[in-house]
Structures are given as C-alpha cells and as structure tokens.
Amino acid sequence: MTPHINAKDGDIAKIVLAPGDPLRAKYIAENFLENYREVNNVRNILAYTGTYKGKEITVFSTGMGMPSMGIYCYELYKFYGVEKIIRIGSCGAYSPDLNIFDTLLVNQSYAEGNFALAMNNDNCHIIGASENLNKIINETAKEKNITCKNVNVLCGECFDYYITNLDVMLNRLPKEYNITAAEMESFALFYTAKVLNKEAACLLTVVDSHAKKQEITSEEREKSLNDMINLSLESCLKL
C-alpha cells in the first residue's frame, strides 16, 4: 500500500487503463469487465481489476491535473509493478478539423509548466508517448474500423474555459508542434513513464470544441466515450 492507494500486492494488473473520472472507471468495470472487483477507494479514487476477453486489466481513476496523475502513475509503476498505462480521457479541440466525439491518440504532449523540472530537474516541456503502444493502438483501430486521429496536445494547468484570454494562450504555443487539442494529464504520465522506464499512451475523446463552439454534457462525458474505451480494451489484448 501507499499513502494514496490501498490495493494489496497482486490487486493491480500489469496493464492499467486510466480515466480521470472515478465514475468513468466504475462505468467501464460494470459494462466491459468480467469478474471485476474494487481494489482502491482512497479519496474516492476508484479502481477495479477484472478481465476483458480473458486478459487481466485494471481500470484506475487518476483525478484531474498533472499533480494528481503524477502521484498515481508513479505509485502504480514504482510500487505495484505496472508496466503499461493507457490514459483514456476527454479533451477540447482547438482545430476545426476535429469534431465532437472524435477519438484521438496523442503522439506528443506539450506543457508550459514545470512538472519535469520539479520531478527531475529537467527543463523539458514536450514528451512523446510510447511508440510501441501507439503502434499497437493504431493497428487495432484499423482492424476494428475505429477512426483514430493522431495528434499533439497541450497539457494545461488551467481548464481552458476559465482562461481569461484563450487567444493569447493559443498564440503563445509553439507553432512547430501543431497542437490541435488540450487536456490536463498526459505530460505527467508520459514523463513519469520515461523516468521509470515504463510505457504510456493516451487516448482521448473530443468533448468540446473551441473552434466550433460545441460541448457535451457531463453525463455524456461519463458514458458516451465507448469508441475510445473499446479501442483501449482491444489494444490491451495485444500487450
């Protein structure tokens, strides 16, 4: 056990799907896993271990933001022997080429903040996903006829609807990275995986669009992301 996880040794699978929302973890366990059991409830960060088509998988919620993701992915990798984490979350689109409910696979995550500096004295602001995991996810998407767009994202420290001047922030982003969407956890996951020599990937579903002035409800955010969930689970079968 750790200060933040009360799972016992052997409770956590080597492969973890990591939604931010604890209720999304519960939804996935109840609707996609067999023989699942709750393995963590500290701070209501719910986690469940079960099987999907015979493959043992843990679905572990991480909360919102890089500090929260950083704690949970570090402890899962370091103290529970997890080898691979696939974040499955929601994002906002900055490009008109992205539509509500599009499934995205993150190639690189850019952060303006100093997570890497704080953790590892490293002035790093962009980090890539595991090439191996992304290759498997892309192959699985083609096999299952799920459209999956590969993108680079901003990993922000503030929910972008609360930013006082979003245009100023967007103009500040390095143009060479072609950032087309935003979320709040992938950089911490990718960087922690790099430090601990583990693997990480991030699948996202577009739930709002600044470019098209569209968004979905909180209930839809929780339960209407099944293409992404199915793609992550089917990809796990190859790991």
Three-state DSSP string of the chain: CCCCCCCCCCCCCCEEEECCCHHHHHHHHHHHCEEEEEEECHHHCCEEEEEECCEEEEEECCCCCHHHHHHHHHHHHHHCCCCEEEEEEEEEECCCCCCCCCEEEEEEEECCCCHHHHHHCCCCCEEECCHHHHHHHHHHHHHCCCCEEEEEEEECCCCHHHCCCHHHHHHHCCHHHCEEEEECCHHHHHHHHHHCCCEEEEEEEEEEECCCCEECCHHHHHHCCHHHHHHHHHHHCCC
| 1 found inside a domain | no
Give the model's pLDDT for residue 60: 98
Give the model's pLDDT for residue 224: 64
Domain range for 214 is 15-236
| 7 found inside a domain | no
| 8 found inside a domain | no
pLDDT in tens, 92-139: 999 999 999 999 999 999 999 999 999 999 999 999 999 999 999 999
For this structure, is 208 an active site residue?
Answer: yes
Of 70, 77, 83, the closest CA to residue 188 belongs to 70
Q: Classify residue 219 by burial, with Cβ atoms within 10 Å: 0-12, 13-18, 19+.
A: exposed
| 85 found inside a domain | yes
Of 116, 199, 183, the closest CA to residue 151 belongs to 183
What average pLDDT does range 155-179 have in this prediction? 96
Give the model's pLDDT for residue 221: 61
| 2 found inside a domain | no
Q: Categorise residue 44: left if φ over 0, alpha if ψ from -120 to 50, beta otherwise.
A: left
Give the model's pLDDT for residue 215: 76
Q: Which residue has the tokens 């088509």?
A: 53
Total domains in the chain come to 1
Give the model's pLDDT for residue 214: 80
What average pLDDT does range 129-152 have in this prediction? 98
Give the model's pLDDT for residue 220: 67
Q: Percent of the chain at pLDDT above 70?
A: 97
pLDDT in tens, 64-74: 999 999 999 99
Query: CB–CB of 57/49 below 8 Å?
Result: yes
What average pLDDT does range 160-183 have in this prediction? 96
| 3 found inside a domain | no
pLDDT in tens, 3-26: 999 999 999 999 999 999 999 999
Pairwise CA distance, residues 234 & 111, whole Å: 29
pLDDT in tens, 175-227: 999 999 999 999 999 999 999 999 999 999 999 998 888 877 766 665 568 99
| 25 found inside a domain | yes
**CATH number, domain with residue 95:** 3.40.50.1580
Of 8, 104, 53, 102, the closest CA to residue 239 belongs to 53
| 6 found inside a domain | no
What average pLDDT does range 154-167 have in this prediction? 95
Number of neighbours of residue 35 by Cβ within 10 angstroms = 8
From the list 21, 102, 208, 227, the catalytic residue is 208
